Amino acid sequence: MFQLSRRQHSVNLQTFPTERHSNRPLPQRGRLISAAQQITSPRKNSATHKLTKLLLNVTIERSLGPVQVVTSPENTVSDLIKAAIDIYLQEKRRPLLKHTHPQFFALYYSQFCLESLKPDEKLSNLGSRNFIMYSKPYSKSVKLNWSEQAKMAINSSFPLTELMDFLL
């Protein structure tokens, strides 16, 4: 009964602007340059970029997740251990550490490595950004000064903190 004319039946289609109207810069002289090449290509007028900070992930044994440490590449492994312990304590992570002195810990590339990293090795020479830290077995041969021994005595005088870790 109803008849639609061709004018009423036609639908207006929207067209999108072509690439030449977009805001992307066109490649010069017909050369295609990927975004990665633009970022990594050296510029003529800029000085060479030197690595100033490293983001490292250090997983402490029995901890749920890694501690993220931002440090200088000139620092050593012992500096990284100290920074990781400081951040772990500052964030009040669980389980509590029995010892907080960096001498009681060793840093490894992974949990499957048998040899720990040397404490005087520079971080820029390691080639990895993920590490795991285990506590060394306690030995009487580790010599500490009086203030460090006092801190250990205070920490060990509260054995209930280990029980609280178990209950949480």
For the chain, domains (ranges, CATH) are: 54-167 (3.10.20.90)
Question: Does residue 36 surpass a pLDDT of 50?
Answer: no
Q: Which residues are CB-neighbours of 88 under 8 A, at least 6 positions away?
A: 60, 63, 67, 97
SS (H, E, C) the chain: CCCCCHHHHCCCCCCCCCHHHCCCCCCHHHCCCCHHHHHHCCCCCCCCCCCCCEEEEEEECCCCCCEEEEECCCCEHHHHHHHHHHHHHHCCCCCCCCCCCHHHEEEECCCCCCCCCCCCCEHHHCCCCEEEEEECCCCCCCCCCHHHHHHHHHHHCCCHHHHHHHHC
More confident residue, 78 or 30: 78
Share of the chain above pLDDT 70, in %: 54
Question: What integer is the mean pLDDT of 120-133?
Answer: 94
Which of 12-21, 85-94, 115-124 is least confident?
12-21
pTM value is 0.57
- Higher pLDDT: 105 or 145? It is 105
